Structure 1
Amino acid sequence: MNLFADAIAWLLDPANWGGPSGISARLLQHLAVSAVVLVIAAVIALPIGGLIGHTGRGKQLAVMVSGGLRALPTLGVLTLFGLWLGIGLRAPVLALVILAIPPLLAGAYAGFESVDRRTVDAARAMGMRETQIVGKVELPIGLPIVVGGIRSAALQVIATAMLAAYLADVGLGRFIFEGLKTRDYAQMLGASLLVILLALVVDGAFALLQRLVTPTGVRLARSARTGTEPARKRTPARRTITEGNPV
């Protein structure tokens, strides 16, 4: 309990917030690295996932690749890239991009795949081109699931971006590595609490965005499905009268 109180005191100390190595600067660095990683991973994964969901081809390969990437230990990948690329941000960014691709890829093809094929066929019957079907039918309907994939990737990246400080002097992870060297456990716990709070804030923002991008018709349909259905009227059982039975 004393350690937790010391961590809160470290967070509330104004001296720890200012300067180029203060909490404010480290927090902005953490967000910047996470945003760059998400943008790079989204540029790679979202078009591929959308194409798989639209055409229905390559899903098994995408699942295998996503599963393989999920199984990779991020710290091991970071160490490997560090030995290859040296000290700096390139190795952490590449390792975090690999971490972010699976949820983005899964969210993209799941979002497009969730659109009813009868709706897509109706759009084709109306003469819409494939690009119009993607942009005006599949993407608006499947966007909540796509945003859900981005939300999952953002949480994983923010929580793991502390490892960027392993090879570069950036982010909130720097407080953890410095605290480990000096045995300043209050600083380590305080930095961990900041990462948790940051992840919760980002998760809440994406949850709100996910709700805002849900089309009204889809929201109403879900509400109708989850609502209570009216009780069915029971019809009394009637005996069947055949020709040979007396009236």
Structure 2
Amino acid sequence: MTTVLETEELRKQFGELVAVDGVSLAIDDADITSIIGPNGAGKTTFYNLLTGVLKPTAGTVRLKGDDGLVDVTGAPPHEVAKAGLSRSYQITNIFEGLTVRENVRIARISRDGSRMDFLSRADSDPDMEADVGEILTLTGLTDIAETPCDQLSHGQKRTVEIALALAIDPNVFLMDEPTAGMNPTETTEIVSLIRELNEEIDATFVVTEHDMDVVRDISDRIVVLADGAVLADGTPTEVLNDERVTEAYLGSEGQ
């Protein structure tokens, strides 16, 4: 196993409020890791520290690079993305008026650091189109590639967002509530897609999710945050049977 993402004593404080309190984690490439916790546990702040949206009060963030782990602590989001960390959000973040293919193409252009030249056609680049086509195939979007995104279902839009995140060739892919707002069929489909992608591409998935059935189904490892700190860390069986987790997170839902 190879460590692809590492935090050391990561801390974020807003005045007197400590939102993330000394979190040290090493994420390995062999696992799908779910990060869970009750509302206010610090999950969103932790993600924002990883992606450069927020700068930490203390601690470090390191990402896998060509020559080992690279310190990206406090780097702006575009530099963190370039270093190999991609993120999908709980709320879809796509260009509604463009087609699925056009959305993926724009994301691919951003990965290459290219400037869109409106005097030429980006779709005339055969290498670009081959890359876009591969991403559409991987995510099962080929049949709706020419469909404007404002005509898609919620589940299809979430799949498009996954395709956009994959377009930057991430080493680590953070997924924020990937099944939020989905019906049972859409949830099953997105979980299957994540599993398939985890087998087929060289990227490590880290997921936050409230649906415990999804967490049980998709995770090799679960990390529980509570009050900004790591409460539990282990396999789904170990963590979801931990009395501290039941008390802090699952509550009356039990197991």
Superposition TM-score, scaled by structure 2 size: 0.26
Superposition TM-score, scaled by structure 1 size: 0.26
> In terms of Rg, which structure is larger?
1
Determine which structure has the larger strand proportion and give its number: 2
